[in-house]
Amino acid sequence: MRVIGFNFTKISIERLKDILEPSEQLKIGTQIDIPELKDVKSDILKTKEEILTAKFVYGVNYDPGFAKIELEGRILISLDPKIAKEVLKQWKKKKMPEDFRIFLFNVILKKSSLKALDLEEELNLPLHMPMPSFKKEEK
């Protein structure tokens, strides 16, 4: 399996509150949704492998109602015809083979997390994932 295309079709970030009330505790959660998965028939993309396209939605929610990020896009994946057939067969039941699902989610997570981090920096939001940092050595 390999990625041959990835693009965002929607980028939305919104800060809903300026500050949290003292009684509120910020909870940051992420989710990935795949609303569509189908094969691609194209004369331009000629290959011995099958090509699948997946529409995805990646969201970061800052609860309670502090902010939200929503990224939507498409990913093109080239894979063995046998695997593609199995993926499409299981997709009819809204399921995916585990190896394919893990590969797909990791690509989406990597690309979308980087974009979300950039957007969070722009709106001065807390980062949704910890960044590496130096700490004083304990003796």
Radius of gyration of the chain (CA): 19
50-63 and 27-39 strand pairing: antiparallel
The pLDDT > 90 percentage for the chain reads: 63
Average pLDDT over residues 97-103: 94
Q: By the 8 A CB rule, do 32 and 86 touch?
A: no
CA angle 98, 77, 85 (to 5 degrees): 60
Structure tokens at 91: 């997709």
pLDDT at 44 over 70: no
Average pLDDT over residues 22-32: 87
Nearest to 51 by CA among 39, 42, 63: 39
pLDDT at 43 over 90: no
The Cα–Cα gap between 136 and 139 comes to 9
The per-residue pLDDT for 139 is 79
Q: By the 8 A CB rule, do 5 and 78 touch?
A: no
Q: Which residue has the tokens 């498409």?
A: 74
Going from the C-alpha of 129 to that of each of 1, 13, 79, 125, the distances in angstroms are: 27, 16, 31, 12
pTM of the model: 0.84
Local confidence band at 83 (pLDDT 50, 70, 90 cut-offs): very high
Enter the DSSP assignment of 1: -
Provide the residue type at 55 as one letter.
K
